[in-house]
Structure 1
Amino acid sequence: MEEMKKGLEGVVALDTKISYIDGIQGILMYRGVKIEDLVDLPYDAVSYLLINGKIPNESELSEYSQELKDNRIINGKQIDVLKEFDFGVEALDGLRTAISCTAHFDLENNHHSPDANKNKTIKLVAKFPTIVAALHRASFDKEPIEPKDDLSHGANFLYMLTGKIPTDLEAEAMEKDLILSAEHELNPSTFSLRIAASTLSDLYSAVICGLCTLKGPLHGGARKGVMDMLDEVGNIENARPYVLNKLERKEKIMGFGHRVYKTYDPRARIYKDVARRLSIENGDTSWFDLAEELENILYHEFVEIRGKPIYPNVDFYSAVVYKYLNIPAELATSIFAMGRVSGWIAHCMEQYADNRVIRPRAHFV
């Protein structure tokens, strides 16, 4: 009998040129470039890198950015659909339905030529932030704010969300967030999306499959879980009792531990620095101080006492960044998807280029 790996842990399913992870050394690369060398680039450049396989030169980046700007706007019929959603649900439900709706307005939806897929790629990357911001505003019975062409991908999203031009640091934080969320090998949403693509389903359908998988609290929904946890703990004085109570009950502490990383998640280090800088600019370090205290307590409990390599993952300090950007917790997973869509599209294109339908077997018991 062939060995069954629960959760497919440790199973290598395919070859990829898109990203590389070393979970022991704490290394993450997009297309062979370390994440630490990418976070100071514009999100558009990293999006281009993932989808096209190279860092764009000045002319290529300018053309790609302009194409995104030209496709940011969503039409009135789409906005009318957004207004009909039940806003008592997690925002990702609305985003999922909105992307499905967007597919209906795309005449190339079921065309699979390289040109058609390129056009769909631009529309998806460009419209995700507009849809998320419009969904949030519609939940408060407010009209959407049209995008501004002179703002970066991240800064424009914050502007459409609030109507205020973000500070330079806020814009930088949002760009870095989208970059750090953009790609992470065969995570659950990417794998589910590649399964959909392997059936030769269209790009929109594959991305919707990724969205449905991302929603789960053990994947993209974990970021919202950390934000809720920070609210629950409230202040530093409550941190230790909270942690010890969780450990005694053998309950999961959101934002710690990772299936792949057995050391500090390299994305978490970058988020931590951004969160610290935002806390200083805001003149209120309370959220950052609370998070750092939780990290110190958990390091002592997990690493020093139990000898378990459990460290902050990507969701922990990103939640703190969202706190300082005044992003509501219910938007956290949808904003994760805004960054991840570039990586998802890259994986779809890679699957289409060398396809075999993904169809594993099960062991009957």
Structure 2
Amino acid sequence: MANGLDDVVAAETVLSDVDGLGGNLTIRGHALPALAGHWTFPAVVQLLFDGFFDQLPHDKKLAAGIGQARVDVFERLLPLLPALATRDVYSAMRAGVALMPDGGDLEDALRLIAAPAVLTPALLRLRRGESPVAPDADAGHAADLLRMTAGAPASPSLAEALDTYLVTVCDHGLNASTFATRVVASTQAGLTSAVLAGLGALKGPLHGGAPGPVIEMLDAIEAHGDAATWLRDRIARGERIMGFGHRIYRVRDPRADVLKAVVRRLGGVGEGARLAFAEKTEKIALDVLRVAKPSRSIQTNVEFYTALLLEAAGFPEEAFSCVFAAGRMAGWIAHAREQQATGRLIRPQSRYVGPMPDMVA
């Protein structure tokens, strides 16, 4: 039996392929570097949704539909936002998503795409004692997310960087949250029910909760003053080095290279000092890991530069997983529709290893 279902093929999909040995990510026939920074997030939503929704609009019409969905979500949830904001940001965002209609048409899907991008800024502002900012239906999706968070328009370079991030994390094979989404979708439940399973899985620290601790690690190393010693001590205690290693990739995570380039293009992250320090720490960490674990290839993963990008975009650590969900929502919905269209009820077998009842004579 495969521990953790490793190497078990649980679905056939046209959506994405993760080549862990080669370090490649393919999304509907396109290599990630050909999409990230070249396609907008709405264009990639159209790519993922193609064939799964009737009369799917293209290009600007789909982007306009996502913009109108942001307005719809905001108007629906505005009276409830103060009550939601009493919880942690991720739980509050998830609770807001749960209030969306649980259907299966394109309108339902676009509201779910919009929900994390609307809820996250509104909740952050309320927790800071500020009023939520209403969406602008005509703005770009990433640009509007940033504007609603800061209360002022973002620079084009920052909006482009966040848009590239949303594209980069939109889908990634049959990871834990996507599998959870497909399991629920296989029951023919609505899209909201399915993506809530994905949101629940994403909250776990082994899946979506690691970018925040990357910032904590960088701060701790900077305060300590000796990166190599800090890292060796952590490894000796059996603790993880955040932002390094991946369950699938045996070489460098291709998403890390895309996001590193995005952060570099932003320029002036913390007047350049933060990025320079992070790059130096990355090199030291790879050297320390190579010596400490010579039998394993532990490389930089997507979380390392995600943390730097989202920090530069003005998001607090507690909201990092919310922004990740804003990108991954597109992939979850596409997988849910694919599972409903082509798959059976997912019902694996288990092997009982507990005690047996006494035999009755």
TM above 0.5, yes or no, is yes
1:28 to 25, 29, 35: 25
2:286 corresponds to? 299
Quote how far apart the aligned CAs of 1:283 are.
6.0
What whole-Å deviation, never above 9, does each CA across 1:56-90 have from its counterpart, x for those lacking one? xxx8211111111112123555223221135462x
- Residue identity in the other structure for 1:23: G
Quote how far apart the aligned CAs of 1:245 are.
0.9
Quote how far apart the aligned CAs of 1:94 are.
0.7
> What is the DSSP-based 3-state SS (H/G/I as helix, E as strand, rest coil) of the residue aligned with 2:83?
coil
1:102 corresponds to? 100
2:129, 2:225 → 1: CA distance?
38
Quote how far apart the aligned CAs of 1:101 are.
1.7
2:137, 2:106 → 1: CA distance?
21
CA separation of 1:87 and 1:226: change in aligned 2, threshold 3 A: farther
Matched, 1:319 2:307: yes
Q: Which range moves more in the overlay, 181-190 or 144-153?
A: 144-153
1:8 corresponds to? 5
8 Å CA contact retained: 1:193, 1:210:
yes
2:357 corresponds to? none
TM-score of the pair, normalised by structure 2: 0.91
- Residue identity in the other structure for 1:290: F
1:220 corresponds to? 208
8 Å CA contact retained: 1:27, 1:34:
yes
**Quick one: percent identity of the two aligned structures?**
34
What whole-Å deviation, never above 9, does each CA across 1:229-260 have from its counterpart, x for those lacking one? 22322358332222111111111111110011
**Structure 1 stretches lacking a partner, 5+ long:** 104-108, 111-115
Quote how far apart the aligned CAs of 1:11 are.
1.3
> What is the DSSP-based 3-state SS (H/G/I as helix, E as strand, rest coil) of the residue aligned with 2:194?
helix
CA separation of 1:235 and 1:307: change in aligned 2, threshold 3 A: farther
Quote how far apart the aligned CAs of 1:46 are.
0.7
1:24, 1:235 → 2: CA distance?
36
8 Å CA contact retained: 1:287, 1:323:
no
> What is the DSSP-based 3-state SS (H/G/I as helix, E as strand, rest coil) of the residue aligned with 1:229?
helix
Matched, 1:83 2:70: no
CA separation of 1:290 and 1:235: change in aligned 2, threshold 3 A: farther
1:327, 1:75 → 2: CA distance?
20
Quote how far apart the aligned CAs of 1:204 are.
0.3
**Structure 2 stretches lacking a partner, 5+ long:** 354-361
1:146, 1:79 → 2: CA distance?
9
8 Å CA contact retained: 2:146, 2:153:
yes
1:204 corresponds to? 192
8 Å CA contact retained: 1:227, 1:319:
yes
2:272 to 276, 281, 285: 285
TM-score of the pair, normalised by structure 1: 0.90
CA separation of 1:202 and 1:149: change in aligned 2, threshold 3 A: closer
> What is the DSSP-based 3-state SS (H/G/I as helix, E as strand, rest coil) of the residue aligned with 1:327?
coil
8 Å CA contact retained: 1:92, 1:331:
yes
CA separation of 1:87 and 1:243: change in aligned 2, threshold 3 A: farther
1:260 corresponds to? 248
Quote how far apart the aligned CAs of 1:102 are.
2.4
2:255, 2:315 → 1: CA distance?
19
- Residue identity in the other structure for 1:315: E
1:129, 1:148 → 2: CA distance?
12
Quote how far apart the aligned CAs of 1:328 are.
0.3
Matched, 1:48 2:66: no
1:147 corresponds to? 135
Quote how far apart the aligned CAs of 1:355 are.
2.5
8 Å CA contact retained: 1:255, 1:314:
yes
8 Å CA contact retained: 1:100, 1:205:
yes
2:316 to 324, 328, 332: 328
